[in-house]
Amino acid sequence: MSLSNPLPDATVQLDIVKSEAVQHDTLFTTPLDKAARFSFDEQVVACFPDMIRRSVPGYGQVLAMLPIFAKRHCKYRQQTSNGQRVSRIYDLGCSLGGASMALAGDFAPHDLQIKAVDISPAMTSEARKLLRDNYPEHDIEVVTADIREFELETCDMVILNLTLQFLPAADRVAVLEKIYKALSPGGILVLTEKTHAFDEQADAWLVERYYDFKRANGYSEMEISGKRNALENVLITDTLDEHHERLDNVGFARHLTWFQFLNFVSIVAFK
């Protein structure tokens, strides 16, 4: 089957990086050592906006909804050191700060305090630059840290956009517990993840259509299989039921799947 035009939805995107400098993702256009593991290094940073847009169905739509959710659920519940009331939002596993940028773009500088955290220094140094250039007036701090060790202050909203999936399975509960504790009553967690289906046939169909999506966005068979190999044991998916069960277990009384596109889902959990 050949799909010559990019799928309409694949073109829905936020210009998270307006710079001309964004490279086309060519990371897997040449055969690589089969054992090479995917890592968020300088090479990935240089093509990240192109990569995420072409390989994550619904990335733009999810980001576009974040400020809409924030406007409903962030109620200036936090106090800064100089006594001002703000809404504090964490963007955990921020990469280049796409989610933080989507939020900053829709809020006045004094209304939000954003803390964006990522373990990759290559990502945070670029994110810091992009956020400073695009939103110089906003209170946005970019921190290089492992979210498993990073302490959270009380907050109104936490974004885990495609990040939990990169943590070892055994560490996921503790991170969610920490988030639950930090959220003020009325606050929300937005958790977006790649998932797998429990039913084998359903899963095979979703995975195949996901590869069709990537083909439609210009990825070759070699690029698709190269990326799949590199992500093995690096990106470990759960089922949608496992996500909901874990959220129950850490204390979230109410959570629902508000978005699904093939095997990618986004959940909102309410404290």
- Residues in touch with ligand GEK (CB under 6 A): 40, 52, 93-95, 98-99, 117-120, 123, 146-148, 161-163, 166-167
Q: Which is nearer to ligand GEK, 57 or 98 (CB)?
A: 98
**Residue in the block written with tokens 């885990």:** 160
Write down the least CB distance from residue 166 to ligand GEK, Å.
4
Write down the least CB distance from residue 148 to ligand GEK, Å.
5
Write down the least CB distance from residue 40 to ligand GEK, Å.
4
Q: Which is nearer to ligand GEK, 48 or 107 (CB)?
A: 48
Please give the backbone phi and psi of residue 265, each rounded to the nearest 5 degrees, phi first.
-135, 160
Q: Which is nearer to ligand GEK, 147 or 183 (CB)?
A: 147
Write down the least CB distance from residue 212 to ligand GEK, Å.
19
Write down the least CB distance from residue 13 to ligand GEK, Å.
11
- CB burial of 159-177 (b: ≥16 within 10 Å; e: otherwise) equals bbbbbbbebeeeebeebbe
The answer for residues whose C-beta is within 8 angstroms of residue 240's C-beta and 6 or more apart is: 195, 197, 257, 260, 265
Q: Which is nearer to ligand GEK, 77 or 123 (CB)?
A: 123
HSE on the CB side for 260, CA within 13 Å? 10
Write down the least CB distance from residue 52 to ligand GEK, Å.
6
Q: Which is nearer to ligand GEK, 161 or 195 (CB)?
A: 161
Residue closest to ligand GEK, measured at CB: 93
Q: Which is nearer to ligand GEK, 148 or 209 (CB)?
A: 148
Euclidean distance between CA atoms 157 and 260, whole angstroms:
21
Q: How many other C-beta atoms lie within 10 A of the C-beta of residue 186?
A: 12
